């Protein structure tokens, strides 16, 4: 067992190993959350090693701290009709899933983690980590399920978890369930029939604070007048948001809006990006980029942020205390809308909904008001952002009890 000491003074865990699993291949949310946790752990504990297993094709473009490594498994993406397909491999989906499961199991056996943190999916994509979870538990590893603050509408989540047989896994395979949010946001598993023994192992840790990267300086290409940052995350479903914002700038006859920087995301289609770039070239105050691996720097220097309301962006808005306008997607999940409703209710951000996306004047007005709206810190406290610190404490507690 790794050497540890009192949680208040420990700064070293020699050869402690944490394995993190992120199933997603499309989008950036799961990967960025896992990266934040991994970097925080090795920052907190000398001698610790963290490995991330991910299906993301862009994981290599991110910065990781020393002693954080990653393994990429073949990507699988979810289609709009709910089906899955292989990403980049001309092989059958079942073959891809079998290859992923084998790679995950071999990585777990070779790495031999003390703690296994699973992001969101209790059994992994199509049950691909079920065997690994059982094997690691048998070896004495502590299996942890990490959940964001909001999963989905409770009725939809019940149907999904019943279909995937997720609830029994929480009782039989997991030592703890970590919720990366606060009790005031609500129980992300509301409506799921869980036994008291499982509920007793749920820990509300708070949102995950995001620090600025080392040597964080605004790239010269973005230097100039104050700007609003527009970011639809990975961009795969950000077309409506970007179009709405560009239309607002196109209609700004008085030239009153602040400069805008749009980072469309690496998963927005090339054809859609070309269309947006063509329109933006006609607008003096707009600049478009595809991807920024240090988007935190752009967020920190912005006078306002326009986003869809994903978990990671919400954490960054709170961390950097930035005025924000949220435009949440409402399909295929209601997660972003529920979070945006919460933010609006507690005056942490302003909100527009896609039902009004034909109303260009509404977006124009919202963008104009954004730089003057109250800061999130006027309505909340920093205790909301204690998630990473509490994760470190839970890790110490788990290692001491193993």
Domain ranges of the chain: 17-209+386-401, 220-382
Q: Over the stretch 288-313, which tens digit does the pLDDT of each residue have?
A: 999 988 899 999 999 999 999 999 99
- pLDDT at residue 9 is higher than 60: no
Residue 144 or 13, more confident: 144
pLDDT at 2 over 50: no
At 8, the pLDDT band (50, 70, 90 cuts) reads very low
- pLDDT at position 5, please? 40
Residue with the bigger pLDDT between 86 and 30: it is: 30
Query: Is this structure's pTM higher than 0.85?
Result: yes
Q: What percent of the chain has pLDDT over 70?
A: 93
Confidence of residue 152 (pLDDT cuts 50, 70, 90): very high
**Going by C-beta distance under 8 Å and a sequence separation of 6 or more, which residues neighbour residue 220?**
none
| The pLDDT of residue 209 is above 90 | yes
Question: Comparing 114-118, 134-138, 234-238, 334-338, which segment has the lowest mean pLDDT?
Answer: 234-238
Question: Are 287 and 249 a contacting pair, CB within 8 Å?
Answer: no
What's the average model confidence in pLDDT over 115-135? 96
**Whether the predicted pLDDT of 331 surpasses 90:** no
Q: Do domains 17-209+386-401 and 220-382 have the same CATH topology?
A: yes
Q: Looking at the domain 17-209+386-401, which fold is it?
A: Rossmann fold (3.40.50)
Structure confidence at residue 7 as a pLDDT band (50, 70, 90): very low
CATH of domain 220-382: 3.40.50.2000
Q: Which of 90-94, 100-104, 110-114, 194-198 has the lowest mean pLDDT?
A: 90-94
- Confidence at 169, pLDDT banded by 50, 70, 90: very high
Report, as an integer, the average pLDDT of 311-338: 94
pLDDT at 10 over 60: no
Kindly indicate the confidence band of residue 23, based on its pLDDT and cuts at 50, 70 and 90.
Answer: confident
Choice among 64-68, 211-215, 304-308 with the minimum mean pLDDT:
211-215
Least confident of 4-13, 161-170, 389-398: 4-13
Taking all residues of the chain, what is their mean pLDDT, rounded to a whole number?
Answer: 91
d(CA 325, CA 306): 5
At 78 the pLDDT is 63
């Amino acid at each position: 067992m790794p050497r540890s000491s009192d949680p208040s003074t420990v700064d070293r865990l020699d050869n402690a190993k944490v394995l993190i699993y992120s199933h997603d291949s499309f989008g950036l949310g799961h990967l960025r959350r896992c990266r934040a946790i991994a970097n925080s752990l090795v920052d907190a504990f000398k001698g610790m090693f963290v490995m991330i297993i991910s299906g993301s094709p862009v994981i290599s473009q991110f910065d990781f701290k020393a002693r954080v490594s990653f393994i990429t498994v073949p990507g699988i993406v979810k289609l709009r009709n709910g089906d899955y397909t292989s990403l980049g491999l001309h092989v059958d989906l079942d073959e891809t899933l079998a290859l992923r499961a084998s790679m995950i199991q071999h990585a777990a056996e070779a790495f031999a983690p003390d703690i296994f943190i699973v992001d969101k999916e209790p059994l992994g994509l199509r049950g691909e980590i079920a065997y690994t979870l059982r094997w690691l538990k048998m070896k004495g590893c502590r299996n942890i399920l990490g959940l964001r603050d909001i999963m989905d509408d409770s009725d939809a989540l019940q149907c999904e978890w019943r279909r995937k047989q997720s609830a029994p896994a929480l009782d039989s395979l997991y030592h703890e369930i970590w919720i990366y949010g606060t009790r005031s946001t609500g129980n992300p598993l509301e409506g799921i029939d869980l036994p008291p023994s499982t509920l007793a192992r749920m820990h509300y840790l708070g949102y995950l604070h995001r620090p600025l990267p080392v040597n964080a300086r605004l790239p010269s290409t973005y230097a100039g007048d104050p700007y609003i940052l527009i970011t639809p995350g990975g961009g795969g479903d950000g077309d409506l948001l970007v179009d709405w914002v560009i239309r607002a700038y196109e209609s700004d006859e008085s030239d009153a809006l602040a400069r805008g920087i749009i980072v469309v995301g690496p998963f927005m289609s090339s054809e859609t990006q070309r269309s947006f770039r063509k329109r933006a070239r006609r607008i003096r105050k707009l600049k478009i980029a595809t991807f920024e691996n240090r988007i935190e720097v752009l967020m920190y220097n912005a006078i306002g942020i326009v986003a869809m309301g994903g978990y990671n962006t919400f954490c960054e808005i709170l961390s950097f205390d930035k005025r924000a306008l949220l435009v949440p997607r409402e399909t295929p999940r209601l997660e972003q809308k529920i979070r945006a409703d919460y933010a609006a209710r507690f005056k942490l951000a302003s909100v527009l909904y896609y039902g009004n996306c034909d109303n260009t004047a509404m977006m124009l007005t919202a963008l104009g008001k954004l730089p003057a709206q109250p800061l999130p810190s006027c309505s909340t406290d920093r205790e909301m952002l204690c998630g990473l610190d509490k994760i470190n404490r839970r890790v110490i507690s788990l290692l001491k009890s193993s």
